[in-house]
Amino acid sequence: MLNSADQNEILRRRTFAIISHPDAGKTTLTEKLLLYGGAIHVAGAVKSNKIRKTATSDWMEIEKQRGISVATSVMGFDYDGYHINILDTPGHQDFAEDTFRTLTAVDSAIVVIDSAKGVEAQTRRLMEVCRMRKTPVMVFMNKMDREGKDPFDLMDEAEKELGIHCTPVTWANGQGLKFESVFALDNRPAGLSPKLQEDLEMIDGVYPEFDREAYLRGELAPVFYGSAYKTVGVQELLDFFVKNAPSPRPVDAEERTVDPMEDKFTAFCFKIHANMDPNHRSCIAFFKICSGKFLRNTYYKHVRKDQQMRFAAPTCFMAQKKETVDEAFAGDIVGLPDTGNFKIGDTLTSGEQLHFRGLPSFSPEMFKYIENADPMKQKQLDKGISQLMDEGVAQLFVSQLNGRKIIGTVGQLQFEVIQYRLEHEYQAKCRWEPLQMYKACWIESDDEAELETFKKRKAQYMATDKDGRDVFMADSGYVLSMAQQDYKHITFHFTSEF
Ligand code: G4P
């Protein structure tokens, strides 16, 4: 076990992500939290990972923004004795996969909902990941200064759409033009209007008291109302958050459960950020520390490569600055400069043979064949594809029928990113060929014979993923549901982890 001073460092850490549909107010809320932490001093300082919708066709601009966003990928600051790490997630839905992976590195999440729009698509999808991982979440109903949905309806919607029980912690004094303030339900001001008194009676009758254990199990979300823009309700959220959100929690590895307080260091890589300067191909590999303490210039084991490595310039992220650090603790994110040694999912340890689970791939939404457009550069192309896939830019499947390479993405943008980067970083040229495909499904069955029959019958639709697993490439929803009907003993999974 670590000594008590180090244990205290871990206990005071709160590592979380803010998730929302674009425009719900994630950037504004992040900024206000940083202001409370004294990490920034003026509003408007966080441009963050925000990728403007208008920029979708101009992805060069997006990549520039992604370059800038290295520093804002993690924002650390101290507040009221706690050390807070906010992990930024790209708002653009074409980068949803990045966001899913970031969620594997957090101990909790805050969901921001636009009170005029209610629960939107992206929030629903991200919340599915939280539910899968039993991540504790708090909900911030933002933009109460605008005319929006009724606060009770919003909670009903959140319960139904997000599949989680809700209980309010604060309540809004008015809404829209009449919105003034919020108050804590356990500290109610005197002289409330009859309307508000009616609300309170309803709340007391319907909603359970906040139960921290249920919250920590991911079953109950405390709900806050406010306006990030007007900085109302934000401090209430922050104070409640630091007191109730979990410090780093035990993490399941394949071999055993890892406790954050162990003195043995362990960490896994959840994100690789490429340098946008093509002349200088170095990356930053982001590691979430799961246990112990990380020290600069100390040898650690890179488990997949079975190699000892040490790091002279590890970085941590304070506010919006990247700083070299000598030590970091469980719960923290360290950025390790890398020249191609790391893949997403890699584990570093003090020497133990350990593998962390829980970095699922999701079925992509779009598929294309990738072909070589410059026969002299086959090697460069193969290397480029392989490294970009290690970075998690997209997923590669190889057709079992003809060996052709299929790239799967969540959005059109990634195809453009891949083509550009292959050309500029690897001097390789690629060409895309259309492929009508609905979903990639990882298949599993206890019935070996049925599985073999299926694979034979569907040979032309079978592919292999990066880990050598069988994937059924369904070309339409109809084909998939027919397959599900005909092969009752086969389970079709839409994520690689099951
Ligand atoms: P995002 O990161 O989730 O995409 O959202 P962001 O914070 O950028 O907010 C999206 C828009 O909503 C911004 O307006 C922002 O000012 C506004 N907003 C955020 N919180 C509130 C709130 O509590 N009340 C109101 N009324 N508006 C809010 P914009 O016009 O797109 O950008 P800007 O010019 O204000 O930066």
CATH number, residue 271 = 2.40.30.10
Distance CA 79, CA 282 (A): 33
Give domain status of residue 184, yes or no. Answer: yes
Q: Give residue ranges with CB within 6 A of ligand 1.
A: 20, 22-28, 50, 91, 142-143, 145-146, 227-229
Q: Domain total for the chain?
A: 3
3-state secondary structure 196-258: HHHHHHHHHHHCCCCCHHHHHCCCEEEEEECECCCCECHHHHHHHHHHHCCCCCCEEECCCEE
Give domain status of residue 441, yes or no. Answer: yes
Same domain as 41, residue 129: yes
Same domain as 20, residue 130: yes
Distance CA 34, CA 15 (A): 14
- Residue pair 10/329 in contact (Cβ under 8 Å)? The answer is yes
Same domain as 70, residue 110: yes
| Per-residue confidence band for 68, with pLDDT thresholds at 50, 70 and 90 | very low
Same domain as 110, residue 26: yes
Determine which residue's CA is closest to atom 17 belonging to ligand 1.
25
Give domain status of residue 359, yes or no. Answer: no
Give domain status of residue 106, yes or no. Answer: yes
Ligand 1 centre distance from Cα of residue 146 (Å): 12
Determine which residue's CA is closest to atom 9 belonging to ligand 1.
25
- Nearest atom of ligand 1 to the alpha carbon of 112: 3
For residue 496, give the amino acid letter.
S
C-alpha distances in Å from residue 387, one per residue of 265, 273, 375, 412, 487: 27, 12, 19, 20, 36
Give domain status of residue 361, yes or no. Answer: no
Distance CA 483, CA 458 (A): 10
Same domain as 399, residue 385: yes
Greater pLDDT, 337 or 92: 337
Greater pLDDT, 112 or 98: 112
- Nearest atom of ligand 1 to the alpha carbon of 21: 3
Same domain as 461, residue 341: no
Give domain status of residue 53, yes or no. Answer: yes
Distance CA 103, CA 89 (A): 9
For residue 238, the enclosing domain spans: 4-246
Span 125-158, pLDDT tens digits? 889 889 988 999 999 999 999 999 999 999 999 9
Mean pLDDT lowest among 135-139, 271-275, 444-448? 271-275
Give domain status of residue 15, yes or no. Answer: yes
Instruction: Tell whether the model's pLDDT for residue 221 goes beyond 80.
Output: yes
Span 390-409, pLDDT tens digits? 888 889 999 999 999 999 99
Same domain as 326, residue 437: no
Which of 19, 23, 54 should be mutated for ligand 1, with most atoms under 8 A from CB? 23
Last residue of a domain, one of 320, 349, 378: 349
CATH number, residue 461 = 3.30.70.3280
Q: What is the pTM of this model?
A: 0.84
Ligand 1 centre distance from Cα of residue 229 (Å): 7
Same domain as 343, residue 427: no
Same domain as 294, residue 235: no
pLDDT of residue 277: 55
Same domain as 237, residue 176: yes
Last residue of a domain, one of 220, 246, 272: 246
Instruction: Tell whether the model's pLDDT for residue 410 goes beyond 90.
Output: no
- Nearest atom of ligand 1 to the alpha carbon of 31: 7
Give domain status of residue 100, yes or no. Answer: yes
Last residue of a domain, one of 246, 277, 294: 246
Mean pLDDT, the chain, whole residue set: 89
Determine which residue's CA is closest to atom 36 belonging to ligand 1.
44
Same domain as 409, residue 332: no
Same domain as 85, residue 226: yes
